[in-house]
Chains A and B, each alone.
Chain A
Amino acid sequence: MGRTLAEKVWDAHVVRRADGEPDLLYIDLHLVHEVTSPQAFEALRLAGRPVRRPDLTLATEDHNVPTTDTLAPIADPVSAAQVEALRKNCAEFGVRLYPMNDPGQGIVHVVGPQLGLSQPGMTIVCGDSHTSTHGAFGALAFGIGTSQVEHVLATQTLPQRRPKTMAITVEGELPPGVTAKDLILAIIARIGTGGGAGHVIEYRGAAIRGLSMEGRMTVCNMSIEAGARAGMIAPDDTTFEYLAGRDRVASGPAWDEAVAYWRTLASDPDAEFDREVVIDAASLTPYVTWGTNPGQAAPLGSRVPAPADYDDPAARASAQRALAYMGLTAGTPLAEVAVDTVFIGSCTNGRLSDLRAAADVLRGRQVAGGVRVLVVPGSMQVKAQAEAEGLDQVFEAAGAQWRSAGCSMCLGMNPDTLRPGERSASTSNRNFEGRQGPGGRTHLVSPAVAAATAVTGRLTAPADL
């Protein structure tokens, strides 16, 4: 029987297989950031162990970094100590680090792809659940906890149970104005936050093939919000075009050899998936979340649902709690929900094409009075590219704030937070209670919807401007 993409990548990385035990998988790339690594390095130090493969390890500062004055010392002493710990650890263990203000710095999941480090067929891990992003290249990429970070640092391997496989086939073409973000929000609304649990999702079908690499990264990024172990897309010419010529990518005969191998990775026609879901792209419209988990999403043109709409008691109770937390009334048109903050950025939607989409909407328009708009590029390189195109000027002319690279308001570990009761339209990936600041209320949206919302001050699709 044929094998799926995930199974091929898995099989190519098994260092040791024994009956009843998890497979020991080799890890091709380990990405590190300041939040989930200090305890892992400390454990290595205590055990007197080195980092086995510093050359397959890369660190960046992203979660804590301020996005305003990046040259001044970090004001919060606890954040500063965490960033300092990463610097010390990287120096001591010989790990390459992109620190604040370095042109290579940025969100870990933006940095890997932009360097060309994330390639098809690789295994990639990071102490961060959105590592699923790199699956857009046909890599098997997943988030791990700090004990596993220690394990990979020490051994460059990870014991893992073979996950199940799930195919999500998106047939047809996305209608104009419907983006990768709308697609993934619709998928999570359909299968639920636990719908992918225990599975690696492979996204397939014409609509997926039609996405750019950045769109594919947006889709794979949020696989974890459906509970999936990872999300993957088979590499194709779009992938190879994106990779060709990037800093860390082979050239000459080595490139040809790599591409020949990558072309063998797609799931075989007779491969079987443990679960299959089919989605019709043509039926989709812009999606927004109304609740406190990413599965609580609905078309922007619809209304806030009522708890009574749900048959499952747990889902009903969850909707009830979510409406109370979000301060929403069932039946309210989503397009009437007013926000005071718009956040454009994150590892989901902080890449150049995302900023272009937002700038296209804001060009020649003004941000509504009383609305605070933060535009935070995903990396210093994205920032430089956007500035070279004059996007910073478009944002600033419209009344938005143009910031420096980092995670920023996606999780509010730096000073960019929502205050209690504030409501945001955010291009990030999590609308959990308090995610963007205690008491803050988050609606997840695409960059285009975020920009249109900035103009009107309420959830708005660009087509309705």
Chain B
Amino acid sequence: MEAFTIHTGRAVPLRRSDVDTDQIIPSEWLKRIERTGFGAGLFAEWRADPGFVLNDPTHAGASILLAGPDFGTGSSREHAVWALQDYGFRAVISSRFADIFRGNALGNGLLPVTLPAETVEALQAAVEADPTVEITVDLDARQVRGAGVEASFELDDFTRWRLMEGLDDVGLTLRHEERITVFEGTRPAWLPTSV
């Protein structure tokens, strides 16, 4: 996983609430067995509309998505995170994320930043007024700065450390393998097996 410490870039405002993962990456794209190349499918249906904000050339190269509330609802498809990253996004800012999406994003180093709805709106308005404005997402300081906004966000110390080191969970967990084996010895015999 690519480490995340601090990122500065331009942003694109997506003024829609309840953006579900079916919209982020339609199911047709889920048939692929690779982990890369999903950027072309990002918001595929909406991008067919020339007026869609991602088609606006003034936002080309943006790396921060300023999303509406309840971003990433619905299906657990991690492909949604892969699509956002493959397209070039490093962080998504919203007033509320769906739980599974947030977990998937954190697992891949795409930073989901939760800020109050008014702050997200202020950022959206600033970027709409001037698409060249740059925003900094500082994980070390847990702060978003730029476009006249300076706002702190919450993220627990452990997750922050993991992201800043770029560590993946499997490696961390396998350090406790003995504990897992001990736990397995205590499981009741009546629990079912699949075989």
Contacts and interface: CB of A to CB of B under 8 A. Distances in A.
Interface of A: 15-16, 20-22, 24, 26, 28-29, 35-36, 38-39, 42, 47, 49, 52, 54-58, 63-64, 76, 78-79, 81-82, 85, 96, 116-117, 119, 122, 127-129, 143-148, 150-151, 154-157, 159, 161, 163, 193-194, 197-198, 224-225, 227, 229, 248-250, 254-255, 257-258, 261, 293, 295, 314-315, 317-318, 321, 411-413, 430, 432-435, 438
A137 B88 CA distance: 42
A20 B155 CA distance: 11
Interface in B144-195: 156-158, 168-170, 172-174, 176-177, 179-180, 183-184, 187-195
Interface in B30-88: 30-35, 45, 68-70, 73-79, 81
A145 B195 contact: no
Given A145-B78, A197-B99, A432-B23, A155 B173 contact: yes
Nearest to A149: B78
B16 to A, nearest CB: 7
A155 B28 contact: no
A247 B45 CA distance: 44
B84 to A, nearest CB: 13
Nearest to A143: B76
Contact of A194 (B35, B70, B108): B70
Contacts of B15: 317
A128 B78 CA distance: 10
A145 B106 CA distance: 11
B193 to A, nearest CB: 4
A348 B76 CA distance: 16
B112 interface: no
Given A96-B194, A150-B170, A413-B30, 8 more contacts: A39-B35, A82-B31, A155-B173, A159-B172, A314-B68, A314-B69, A413-B28, A434-B22
Nearest to A83: B31
Contacts, number: 202
Contact of B98 (A81, A155, A197): A197
A433 B23 contact: yes
Given A129-B74, A147-B104, A430-B74, A119 B192 contact: yes
Given A129-B75, A157-B173, A413-B30, A430 B22 contact: yes
Nearest to A86: B33
Contact of B103 (A54, A148, A258, A433): A148
12 contacts: A24-B173, A49-B170, A146-B104, A147-B78, A148-B103, A151-B173, A227-B99, A258-B190, A318-B17, A432-B74, A433-B22, A433-B23
Contact of A257 (B23, B74, B78, B188): B188
Contact of B70 (A157, A227, A258): A227
A435 B22 CA distance: 7
Contacts of B28: 413
Contacts of B96: 194, 197
A148 B73 contact: no
A249 B189 contact: no
Given A79-B31, A434-B22, A147 B168 contact: yes
A434 B170 contact: no
B53 to A, nearest CB: 14
A129 B22 contact: no
B78 A146 contact: yes
Central interface residue in A79, A85, A198, A227, by most chain B CB within 10 Å:
A227
A194 B107 contact: no
Contact of A147 (B20, B107, B156): B107
B29 to A, nearest CB: 10
A42 B33 CA distance: 9
A432 B31 CA distance: 19
Contacts of A39: 33-35, 78
Contacts of A52: 180
B194 A56 contact: yes
Given A194-B70, A315-B17, A261 B78 contact: no
Nearest to B71: A194
Contact of A28 (B75, B108, B189, B191): B191
B192 A249 contact: yes
Given A128-B76, A432-B23, A20 B158 contact: yes
A96 B195 CA distance: 7
A38 B36 CA distance: 13
Nearest to A19: B158
A156 B193 CA distance: 13
